[in-house]
Amino acid sequence: MRTLAQTGVPASRRSLRALLVALGTGAALLGAGAVSANEGAPPLKELKVCQDPANMPFSNDKGEGLENRIAELFAGSLGVPVKYYSYPQRFAFVRNTLRYKLPGEDFRCDVMLGVPAGFDQVSGTKPYYRSTYALVFPKGKGLDGVKTGEDFLRLDPATLKALKIGLYDKSPASKWLARHDLVDQGVPYATVDVVAEHYPGWMIDNDLVKGKIDVAILWGPVAAYYASKIKDMELVVVPLKSEPGIKFDFEIAMGVRYGEPEWKKQIETLIDRHKDDLDRILKAYHVPLVDEQLNPIVY
C-alpha cells in the first residue's frame, strides 16, 4: 500500500480530519438481503459506521452528510439498519473509532466512508471518487474572468498582490502560493483547530463572505458545499489542477480494519454496484469531480 507521502497527502497520524481539511465514501453476493461481514461470520445485523458528528458536507449527527446518505444506501442493499459511532475526527479518529474495542465487547464501528486512498491506518478499498482543491471567491469583485487556476495566475500582478488569500496551513495551497510568489498574500488557517465551532467551511462562512479575505483555497467538496449554502451573494468555485510537485487532486476511498479481507470485498462490491447512485449523491452535494486525466467532470 502506498504511504501518505507517496500519495501527496499530509503525513499526520493524529487527525484524519486534518488530512481531509488539508486536502481539510456483486449482485449475487448481495441479492438475498443481509450478508455476513466476513466469510463464516454470523449474518450482519447492522452497518456500523464511524463518523464525525459535525463534519459537513461529509457527516453529522443529524444524518445530513453525503457519507450519511451513502451509509443508508449501503445498509439498504445489505438489508440492515445503520448504526453510527460518532467521534470528532480532530482527535485520533481511527484509534478511537475503527480500532476501539473494550474486552468482551465488539468493535464500535466497522467502516469509515471517506479516507484518502493510501491512508495507511486503515485497509483502504478502491477509490469511489476523485476531487481536487478549489478557489472560491465572490462574483462581481473583479475575478469573474477566472475559470481556471491558470487564469488566476495570469491576473494583472497588481490585482494579485492586492488579494488576501485564505488557505489551510500545510495544505498544497501553501506550496502553490510559494511557487507563484504569492506567499505575502496568504492568510493561513490552522489545519488542526481545537475550537469546536471552527468547522471545515468556517473560512467561507465567516471570513470570505464578510470580506476579511478575497479568495479561499479549500478541499473541493468543502469549498463547493459551503459556497452553495451562501444565499446573500454568489460565490464562484474554480477547481484547481495539479502541477508538477504540487498535488491538488486526491482519490477518496473507504476504510476497514486490517485482517478483514472479506468485509473489504463486500464494501467494494457495494461501491461497484452503486456507482451511479454514488455519483448522484456526490452531485447533490456539489462535489467537484475530476477524471483520471485530472479534467473536471461536468455534471
pLDDT digit string, tens, across residues 99-111? 999 999 999 999 9
What confidence score (pLDDT) does residue 23 get? 52
Q: Which residue has the cell 461470520?
A: 41
Q: What is the percent of the chain with per-residue pLDDT over 90, rounded to a whole number?
A: 75
Structure confidence at residue 28 (pLDDT):
26
Asked if 75 and 47 count as a contact pair (C-beta separation under 8 A), the reply is: yes
pLDDT at 294: 77
Listed in sequence order, the DSSP H helices in the chain are 4-7, 16-22, 27-30, 66-78, 93-96, 149-153, 157-161, 172-179, 202, 220-229, 261-273, 275-284
Q: What is the mean pLDDT of residues 7-31?
A: 40
pLDDT at residue number 80: 97
Q: First CA to last CA across the chain, in angstroms?
A: 32
**Rounded CA separation 184/161 (Å):** 8
Residues 6 or more apart whose CB falls under 8 angstroms from that of 66 comprise 25, 57, 58, 59, 221, 281, 282, 284, 285, 287
DSSP summary character for residue 206: I
CB-count burial class (<10 Å; 0-12, 13-18, 19+) for 144: exposed
If you average pLDDT over residues 154-164, what whole number do you get? 96
Which cell goes with 184?
505575502
Sign of the Cα pseudo-torsion (156, 162, 166, 172, in order) = positive
Q: Can you tell me the distance from the alpha carbon of 44 to that of 270, in angstroms, rounded to the nearest whole number?
A: 15
pLDDT number for residue 1: 30
Instruction: Express each pLDDT in 240-254 by its tens digit.
Output: 999 999 999 999 999
Rounded to whole angstroms, the Cα distance separating 46 from 31 reads 17
7 pLDDT more than 90: no
Question: Grid coordinates in use for 109?
Answer: 464501528
What DSSP assignment string belongs to 79-133? Answer: TS-EEEEE--TTTTHHHHTTT---TTS--S-SEEEEEETT-TTSEE----EEEEE
Q: What is the pLDDT of residues 210-221, one digit of tens each?
A: 999 999 999 999
Q: Residue 21, SS3? A: helix
pLDDT of residue 104: 93
Q: Could you report the per-residue pLDDT of 39-98, keeping only the tens digit for each?
A: 444 578 999 999 999 999 999 999 999 999 999 999 999 999 999 999 998 778 999 999
Give CA–CA dist 248/7, Å, rounded: 11
Record the pTM.
0.85
